[in-house]
C-alpha cells in the first residue's frame, strides 16, 4: 500500500523516525552514515553551507529578540533557535540559552511518536507550542515554539525557538517556583499544542494564554518573538535550497549531524584518558518548617553521584546510578532536562568552536535511573524547579572530565565546577502609588545569569560571568531589572567578599545586593539556592567549594526615617557577624543559613539582601601567590581575616597608599603554623573510617542525610553494594529512617 505521509518520498514522519533510530542502532553512527561524502568532495561548499545556516540562526535570534519586551529576553538573551531534521535532530544552533536545543528535539519527537501527522495534522504554516517537561522541556517557564518547514509538499525540517518567561502562572509569581510540589502547581502547561496556522497565532489561544500568566504583555511579545525568529529561519532554509538544491540539503543535514558526533568522539580521544571517572555532589531542600502541604514538610538532601566511563574509541557513557529519589518537591528533573544539561555542558567543555548539534547527544550513552530525581517517572510530580538538582549535579560531569583533561596535560581546560545560578530571588507585588498604581510588578531578576566559574589548573575562575545553561551569560544592569520590578529598587550592588572558592587558583567572585520595597502592596518574596550544603562537587586538587547562600531581610524597619534624615543605610553584608543591617536599621532583622525559602510577605521599606554565587577553587590555598592575594584584597574579593585564616597571608591596609600591604615574613610563619595545624588536627584514614562509620551504624546522621542514603540504597543495587562494601556493612543493611 502506498504511504501518503508528509515525510520524504511519501513516508510518514513516524516511519522516518523509526528508520533513523534503526540506522543509528545498527551502524552506531548518525543515520548509519559511513563517510562524510559532501565534505570530502567539496569541503569549501560544505563549510560554507553550514556557516550560512548557522549565520541565519544567529541572525534570527539577534533580530527576533527585539520583538520581545521582557528584559530576560532582550537584555540577557534568554532565548535560542535551532534548525532540526524532519525526525527532530538538531542540525545547527543559534547562540543563547543552548540548554534548550536538545529539549526542542524531544518535543518534535514527541509529536511524531504521538501521531500528530494524522491528528491534529502538521501543515505548512502551522505553529506548535510546548513547555511540558514530560515532552523534553526543562520546566514550564521555558516556552518553545516549533514550526514545520515544507518544500514542495514534503516536510524537510523544523525551526524551533525558546524563551524564558518572567512568570508562568504557577502557584506563586515567578519563574522557578520552589513551593510547587505537583504538576498542578507548575503553572500553565502546553503539551505540544497547535496554536496557529498559516503563520498566524490563533486569537483564542492568545486570549487564553494571556489570562493564564501574571505577565500577559511579556507573554504575547515573547510568543511573537519566537515565531518571528522561526519564520526567518524558514526563509533562510528556502534560500539555502534555492541556492544549493533540495538533494544537497537533504544529504547535508544528515552529514552535518554525523560530523558533530564524530567531532565529539575525536575530542574525547584527543583530550581525555580512557577510564572510569567518578564524583558526587549534593543539594539541600530544607522544607520541614516551610512547606505548606503536609507531604512536603520534610527536609531533603539530594545525592548526585556521577560515573563517566571513557572508552578507547572516544565514546563514553554517563550514569547517575545511585541518585536519590524524586518526590513532593519542585526539584525533580525529567529526562529532557537531564539531556539538555548534558548536551549544553559537553558543547562548552569539549566541542566549543566547532559544529554543535545533536551529534554530541548521540555520541554519549546515558543512564538516568528510573525513580531517582533524575527520572522520577511520575508525570504528576512537580518539575517546576529542576535546576535545583540539575545545576549542582552537572558540576560532577565537569569535574570528572576535568580529571581527564588534567591528566592529558590540558590544564587550561580544567574546571572543577561552577557556582549555582542563584540567588534566584522571585515574587512580585502591586503598585499602590505612582503612575502605575494598581499594576502588577514581577520580581524575576536574572542576575543569576552571571555566576562565578570554577578556577582552572592554571588560572583563577571567571568573576560574575558564567551560567551553565547559557554560554553567553550576562547578569544585566540594575536599571534593566528596575524597569519591570520597580516595586523593589536597589540600594546597592557591589562585590561581596569571601564567596569565591579558596585555592591556589581561586574560583570566580560575585556581587551582593541590597534592595527595598517601595510604593507597593501584596508583595511576595522567595528565593532558591543552596544554603546548608556546598554547591556542586566542591573544589579540585585541594581547592575549596565556594560559599553557600543565606537569607537576610529586615521587616518593620525605620528606613523611611533614615531616608528623611539622610542617615546611613545598609548597602552590603560584608561582615555577617557585625552586619550593616544590625548597625544601621531598627526593625525585625532575620538571618537564616538556608538559601531556599518559601514565599514571605513584605511591606514598603522592608529590605532584603541577596548575593550571587562564586566558583569553586583549585589547588591548596597555601600555594596561592601572595601577589594574587593582594590583588584579591584590593578588589574586595576576600577580607583580611579570611585571607589570614585560609590562605595564611598577613595583610594590613595602608591608609596613605589606599591599598593592601602583605607582611611576607609573617605570612611565611603563618603558613607554617597552618601546615602544622593540619597535621595535628587530622587523623589516619583508618581512624577517619571508624569515626564516620560509627555515624552510619549508630544512626546519628541527620534525618535528611539518612533519607538520602536510604533512597540511593533502595534505588540501586550496584551503588548500594559498593556503599556497604566500603563501610563493611551487612548485606541486609538499611538506613533506619522515620
Partner 1 sequence: MKEDKKTLERMLRGDLSWEQLKPIIADQKDSNRFDMIIEILQEKLKWKEQIILPLHEHLYIVSKGAKRIVKCDCGYEFGDYKINWKTKCRIRVRDTIEQIEELYPKDMGSDPKWEELIDKLNSLSKNDIQYIILSALIVFCVIKFFSNDQIRYQVMHAAIVVCCSHWIGFISVFAWVMLQRPHNKREMNRLELRIAELIDVIRDK
Q: Using CB under 8 A, list all residues that contact partner 1.
A: 270-271, 273, 282, 284, 301, 353, 406-413, 457-459, 498-499, 502, 504-505, 532-534, 541-542, 544, 547-550, 575-577, 591-593, 618-620, 625, 642, 645-646, 678-685, 687-688, 691-692, 700, 702, 704-705
Nearer to partner 1, 583 or 625 (CB): 625
Order of all β-strands in the sheet with 275-286: 275-286, 299-310, 316-319, 364-367
Q: Is the peptide bond before 423 cis (omega within 30 degrees of 0)?
A: yes
**Residue 714: which residues within 8 A CB-CB, separation 6 or more?**
325, 720
Nearer to partner 1, 23 or 278 (CB): 278
Least Å from the CB of residue 337 to partner 1: 24
Least Å from the CB of residue 704 to partner 1: 6
* Burial label, 191 (beta-carbon count in 10 A; 0-12, 13-18, 19+): middle
Beta bridge partners of 427: 443, 525
Between CA 210 and CA 94 the distance in angstroms is 28
Least Å from the CB of residue 702 to partner 1: 4
Indicate the DSSP class of residue 470.
B
Nearer to partner 1, 231 or 650 (CB): 650
Between CA 124 and CA 122 the distance in angstroms is 7
Least Å from the CB of residue 642 to partner 1: 7
Question: Using an 8 Å Cβ cutoff, are 218 and 439 in contact?
Answer: no
Nearer to partner 1, 4 or 681 (CB): 681
Nearer to partner 1, 120 or 542 (CB): 542
Nearer to partner 1, 243 or 682 (CB): 682
**Residue 382: which residues within 8 A CB-CB, separation 6 or more?**
180, 181, 182, 183, 185, 186, 328, 329, 330, 332
Nearer to partner 1, 73 or 453 (CB): 453
Nearer to partner 1, 558 or 710 (CB): 710
Can you list the positions of beta strands (E) in 415-480?
424-431, 440-443
Least Å from the CB of residue 417 to partner 1: 15
H/E element, 81:
strand 79-84
Least Å from the CB of residue 316 to partner 1: 18
CA nearest 435: which of 351, 523, 519? 519
Nearer to partner 1, 211 or 583 (CB): 583
Question: Using an 8 Å Cβ cutoff, are 249 and 236 in contact?
Answer: no
Least Å from the CB of residue 683 to partner 1: 6
Residue 477: other Cβ atoms inside 10 A: 13
Least Å from the CB of residue 158 to partner 1: 32
Q: How many CA atoms lie within 13 A of 354 on its CB side?
A: 21
Indicate the DSSP class of residue 448.
G
Least Å from the CB of residue 203 to partner 1: 48
CA nearest 448: which of 164, 63, 137? 164
Residue 178: other Cβ atoms inside 10 A: 30
Nearer to partner 1, 100 or 304 (CB): 304
CA nearest 514: which of 603, 611, 442? 611
Nearer to partner 1, 502 or 584 (CB): 502
Indicate the DSSP class of residue 461.
P
Order of all β-strands in the sheet with 90-93: 90-93, 79-84, 154-164, 142-151, 127-130, 193-197, 200-201
Nearer to partner 1, 686 or 732 (CB): 686
Question: Using an 8 Å Cβ cutoff, are 626 and 664 in contact?
Answer: yes
Residue 290, C-alpha cell as written in the block: 516551610
Q: For 16-28, b where at least 16 C-beta lie within 10 A, e where not — what string?
A: bbebbeebbeeee
Nearer to partner 1, 477 or 641 (CB): 641
Least Å from the CB of residue 383 to partner 1: 24
Least Å from the CB of residue 398 to partner 1: 15
The torsion angles phi and psi of 289, rounded to 5 degrees, stand at: -105, 10
Cα-Cα end-to-end distance for the chain: 62
Least Å from the CB of residue 554 to partner 1: 15
Nearer to partner 1, 659 or 687 (CB): 687
Nearer to partner 1, 159 or 705 (CB): 705
Nearer to partner 1, 318 or 646 (CB): 646
Question: The cell 522544607 sits on which residue?
Answer: 287
Q: Which whole-number Å values give the CA distances from 361 to 91, 274, 421, in the listed order?
A: 12, 19, 24
Least Å from the CB of residue 246 to partner 1: 35
Question: The cell 523509526 sits on which residue?
Answer: 18
Least Å from the CB of residue 623 to partner 1: 8
Q: For 549-568, b where at least 16 C-beta lie within 10 A, e where not — what string?
A: bbbbbbbebbbeebeeeeee
Nearer to partner 1, 656 or 700 (CB): 700
CA nearest 144: which of 123, 169, 165, 116? 165
Can you list the positions of beta strands (E) in 167-255?
193-197, 200-201
Query: What does R_g of the chain's alpha carbons equal in angstroms?
Result: 26
Least Å from the CB of residue 729 to partner 1: 18
Least Å from the CB of residue 695 to partner 1: 8
Coil, strand, or helix at residue 333?
Answer: coil
Residue 506 CA to chain centroid, in angstroms? 22
Least Å from the CB of residue 617 to partner 1: 11
Amino acid at each position: 500500500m502506498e504511504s501518503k505521509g508528509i515525510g520524504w518520498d511519501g513516508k510518514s514522519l513516524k516511519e522516518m523516525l523509526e528508520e533513523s533510530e534503526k540506522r543509528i542502532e545498527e551502524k552506531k553512527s548518525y543515520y548509519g552514515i559511513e563517510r562524510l561524502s559532501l565534505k570530502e568532495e567539496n569541503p569549501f561548499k560544505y563549510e560554507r553551507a553550514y556557516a550560512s545556516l548557522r549565520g541565519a540562526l544567529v541572525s534570527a535570534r539577534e533580530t527576533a529578540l527585539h520583538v520581545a519586551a521582557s528584559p530576560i529576553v532582550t537584555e540577557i538573551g534568554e532565548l535560542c533557535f535551532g534548525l532540526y531534521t524532519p525526525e527532530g535532530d538538531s542540525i545547527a544552533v543559534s547562540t543563547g540559552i543552548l540548554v534548550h536545543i536538545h529539549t526542542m528535539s524531544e518535543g518534535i519527537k514527541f509529536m511524531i511518536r504521538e501521531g500528530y501527522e494524522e491528528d491534529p495534522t502538521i501543515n505548512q504554516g502551522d505553529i506548535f507550542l510546548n513547555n511540558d517537561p514530560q515532552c523534553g522541556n526543562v520546566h514550564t517557564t521555558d516556552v518553545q515554539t516549533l514550526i514545520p518547514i515544507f518544500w514542495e509538499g514534503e516536510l524537510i525540517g523544523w525551526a524551533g525557538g525558546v524563551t524564558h518567561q518572567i512568570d508562568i502562572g504557577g502557584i506563586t509569581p515567578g519563574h522557578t517556583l520552589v513551593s510547587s510540589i505537583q504538576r498542578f502547581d507548575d503553572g500553565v502547561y502546553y503539551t505540544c499544542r497547535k496554536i496557529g496556522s498559516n503563520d498566524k497565532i490563533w486569537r483564542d489561544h492568545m486570549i487564553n494564554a494571556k489570562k493564564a500568566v501574571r505577565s500577559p504583555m511579556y507573554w504575547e511579545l515573547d510568543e511573537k518573538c519566537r515565531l518571528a525568529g522561526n519564520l526567518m529561519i524558514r526563509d533562510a532554509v528556502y534560500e539555502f535550497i534555492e541556492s544549493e538544491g533540495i538533494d544537497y540539503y537533504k544529504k547535508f543535514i544528515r552529514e552535518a549531524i554525523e560530523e558533530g558526533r564524530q567531532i565529539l568522539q575525536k575530542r574525547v580521544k584527543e583530550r581525555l584518558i580512557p577510564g572510569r571517572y567518578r564524583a558526587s555532589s549534593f543539594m539541600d531542600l530544607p522544607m520541614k518548617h516551610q512547606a505548606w502541604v503536609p507531604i512536603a514538610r520534610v527536609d531533603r538532601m539530594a545525592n548526585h553521584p556521577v560515573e563517566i566511563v571513557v572508552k578507547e574509541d572516544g565514546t563514553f557513557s554517563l550514569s547517575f546510578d545511585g541518585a536519590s529519589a524524586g518526590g513532593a518537591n519542585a526539584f525533580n528533573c525529567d529526562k529532557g532536562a537531564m539531556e539538555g544539561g548534558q548536551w549544553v555542558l559537553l558543547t562548552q567543555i569539549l566541542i566549543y568552536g566547532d559544529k554543535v548539534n545533536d551529534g554530541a547527544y548521540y555520541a554519549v550513552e546515558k543512564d538516568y535511573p528510573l525513580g531517582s530525581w533524575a527520572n522520577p517517572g511520575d508525570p504528576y510530580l512537580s518539575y517546576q524547579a529542576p535546576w535545583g538538582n540539575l545545576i549542582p549535579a552537572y558540576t560532577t560531569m565537569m569535574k570528572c572530565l576535568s580529571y581527564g583533561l588534567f591528566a592529558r596535560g590540558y590544564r587550561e581546560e580544567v574546571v572543577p565546577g561552577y557556582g549555582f545560578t542563584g540567588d534566584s530571588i522571585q515574587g512580585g507585588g502591586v503598585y499602590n502609588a505612582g503612575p502605575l498604581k494598581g499594576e502588577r510588578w514581577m520580581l524575576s531578576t536574572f542576575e543569576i545569569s552571571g555566576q562565578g566559574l570554577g578556577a582552572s589548573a592554571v588560572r583563577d575562575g571567571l568573576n560574575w560571568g558564567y551560567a551553565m545553561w547559557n554560554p553567553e551569560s550576562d547578569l544585566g544592569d540594575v536599571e534593566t531589572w528596575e524597569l519591570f520590578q520597580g516595586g523593589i529598587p536597589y540600594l546597592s550592588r557591589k562585590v561581596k567578599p569571601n564567596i569565591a572558592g579558596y585555592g591556589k587558583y581561586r574560583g570566580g567572585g560575585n556581587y551582593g545586593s541590597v534592595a527595598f520595597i517601595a510604593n507597593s502592596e501584596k508583595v511576595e518574596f522567595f528565593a532558591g539556592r543552596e544554603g546548608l550544603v556546598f554547591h556542586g562537587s566542591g573544589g579540585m586538587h585541594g581547592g575549596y567549594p565556594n560559599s553557600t547562600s543565606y537569607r537576610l531581610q529586615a521587616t518593620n524597619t525605620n528606613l523611611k526615617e533614615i531616608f528623611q534624615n539622610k542617615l546611613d543605610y545598609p548597602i552590603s553584608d560584608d561582615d555577617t557577624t557585625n552586619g550593616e543591617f544590625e548597625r544601621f536599621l531598627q526593625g525585625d532583622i532575620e538571618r537564616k543559613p538556608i538559601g531556599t525559602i518559601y514565599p514571605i510577605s513584605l511591606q514598603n521599606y522592608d529590605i532584603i539582601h541577596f548575593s550571587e554565587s562564586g566558583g569553586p577553587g583549585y589547588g591548596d590555598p597555601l600555594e596561592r601567590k601572595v601577589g594574587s592575594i593582594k590583588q584579591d584584597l584590593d578588589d574586595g574579593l576576600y577580607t583580611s581575616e579570611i585571607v589570614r585564616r585560609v590562605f595564611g597571608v598577613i595583610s594590613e591596609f595602608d591608609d596613605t597608599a589606599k591599598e593592601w600591604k602583605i607582611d611576607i615574613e609573617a605570612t611565611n610563619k603563618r603558613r607554617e603554623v597552618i601546615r602544622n595545624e593540619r597535621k595535628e588536627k587530622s587523623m589516619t584514614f583508618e581512624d577517619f573510617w571508624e569515626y564516620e562509620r560509627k555515624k552510619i551504624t549508630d544512626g546519628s546522621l541527620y534525618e535528611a542525610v539518612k533519607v538520602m542514603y536510604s533512597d540511593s540504597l533502595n534505588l540501586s543495587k550496584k551503588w548500594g553494594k559498593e556503599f556497604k562494601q566500603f563501610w563493611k556493612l551487612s548485606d541486609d543493611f538499611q538506613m533506619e529512617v522515620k
